[in-house]
Amino acid sequence: MSKPLLYLLVFFSFSLQGQTIDRYFERIRNNDAELVAFISQMPKGGDLHNHYSGSVYAETYISYVVKQDYFINKNTLEVAKALPKNGADDWARFSELAKSKLLGAYKQKLMQKWSVKDYNGVSYPSDKQFFETFAAFGIANESQERLDVGILELKNRAKAEHVAYIETMFTGIGSKIPDLHDNTVLDQLEKAQDIRDEHTTTVLLDELYKYFTENKASVYASAHNEMIEKMHTRLHIDDESFTMRYMNYVSRGGDPVSVFKNLVLSFISAQESPLVVGVNIVAPEDGEVSMSDYWLHMQMFRYLHSKYPKVKYSMHAGELTLGLVKPEELTWHINEAVRVAGAQRIGHGVDMAYERNPYELLQYMADNKIAIEINLYSNEFILKVKGDDHPFKLYKDFQVPIVISSDDAGILRSNMIHQFELLAKRYKYVSYQDIKRYVYNSIDYSFIKEDSLKKKLKAQMDADFRKFEKEVATAYAE
């Protein structure tokens, strides 16, 4: 056969396969089981909005504290390593519960406390139910050995779900940088924020930056990087079908000096390590300090961007909705995150429709290729925003690059398959080809540092999609 003829035949067979799969997808998208079977086999690219500790399932944490035979408070379900001095009668070791045949019941109660399992939607605020889990299961996540177990759980689950890449918000960075002994800078920062004085804020951040860097910030950042690099190598995380990279995160609930200190550490770490590819800011956005210091936090990112222009960062911004905060607070968080802080990606962005000049903002995100990380189930659970209340269509209409991600699949008892299922079920104008584009976006808009690795992952994606589409075409030949 001549070469041109062969090419033509290959082309026709692929395009026929393409049409078949588009048609098949439209036919099955209204049946949950058929849709899940389809999506579970579909390549999903990367999960770019993934919190490490919230992605490990509660079963893993519970089996650890039980194995350690820690103490549990039978009323509050708090878990402790040692018997607290006060109220000792309320506490029991897990082994004692096992002897009295109560262990199973307490494990169930812990599952309900450390995740959203069996949550009935009314007895407790859903955002509190969600966010309070982090501190509760923290005790099961405190050693390198535990981090190893969790990271491998995430990797193995990803591979089973045809997820090829995870960019996980892994940990904060510890340090022994001595506290400032007077609160002058802190007070001045708050005052500068009150009158939105950018110049004074920059001068104060300069002063703090000098202090942190002179007090060995880079030594602590290097130690953190070394821990990640050793773990990553020891556990053979990257293989022929899976890759993981890490983001540092900073909790926005602290005072401005400590938030800035942790951001400085995070930026230095992300600048130096090939595996640490970015920085993020976490903790409930509607929290009192998150809200009152939001302007300052954006100034901090802008400042650090000028010091470390190559470091990428995504921001939880606009994870808010009407009723959660005062209406005027819905108008500016995404705006500031992209225009002032210079975020390269936005996490959630749920309040988009309420933002100041939303059309301009959407256009700005599209023009500047600022991707939006869409977390459908998380938004449904925490914010009660789903379907057309979610600004998904606005992002799509304005061609803002969309990626689909999981947020905290462990706490939410969800997974990446579930996210794509919700997408296909709820937004019927999203075609199979759209979904495929979102999958490729998750590699294109990842913060992976090496172009060669991005290329490799995209080639892997091409091969995986060819295989998947062929399988569907064969199974459902018309």
Please, what is the minimum distance in Å from the beta carbon of residue 405 to Zn ion? 8
Of 205 and 402, the one with the shorter C-beta distance to Zn ion is: 402
Specify the residue, 71 or 445, whose C-beta has the smaller distance to Zn ion. Answer: 445
- Residues 403-422: x where in contact with Zn ion by CB under 5 A, - otherwise, as a string: ----x---------------
Question: Taking phi first (over 0 means left), then psi (-120 to 50 degrees means alpha), and beta for anything else, what does residue 448 get?
Answer: beta
Q: What are phi and psi of 91, to 5 degrees?
A: -105, 150
Number of residues this chain uses to bind Zn ion (CB under 5 A): 1
Question: CB of 284: closest distance to Zn ion in angstroms?
Answer: 10
Residue type, 347: G
What is the closest distance, in whole angstroms, from the C-beta atom of residue 347 to Zn ion in the complex?
A: 5
CB burial readout 93-108, b (16+ within 10 A) else e: ebeebeeeeebeebbe
Nearer to Zn ion, 43 or 46 (CB): 46
Residue nearest Zn ion, CB atom distance: 407
Nearest distance from residue 112's CB to Zn ion, in Å? 22
Segment interacting with Zn ion, rule: CB under 5 A, options 8-16, 294-302, 390-398, 400-408: 400-408
Residue (380 or 407) nearer to Zn ion, CB: 407
Print burial letters for 341-359: b (CB count within 10 Å at least 16), e (below 16).
Answer: bbbbbbbbbbbbbbbeebe
User: Whole-number minimum distance, CB 51 to Zn ion, in Å?
Assistant: 6
**Residues 199-218 contacting Zn ion, CB under 5 A:** none
C-beta closer to Zn ion: residue 315 or 473: 315
According to CB under 5 A, which residues from 365 to 394 bind Zn ion?
A: none
Closest contact distance (angstroms) between CB of 85 and Zn ion is 37
Q: Tokens for 454?
A: 């991005």
Measured from the CB atom, is 271 or 405 closer to Zn ion?
405
Largest CA distance in the chain: 86
Q: In the window 244-273, what residues touch Zn ion (CB under 5 A)? A: none
Specify the residue, 193 or 280, whose C-beta has the smaller distance to Zn ion. 280
Per-residue x/- mask for Zn ion, residues 75 to 114, rule CB under 5 A? ----------------------------------------
Q: Which residues bind Zn ion (CB under 5 A)?
A: 407
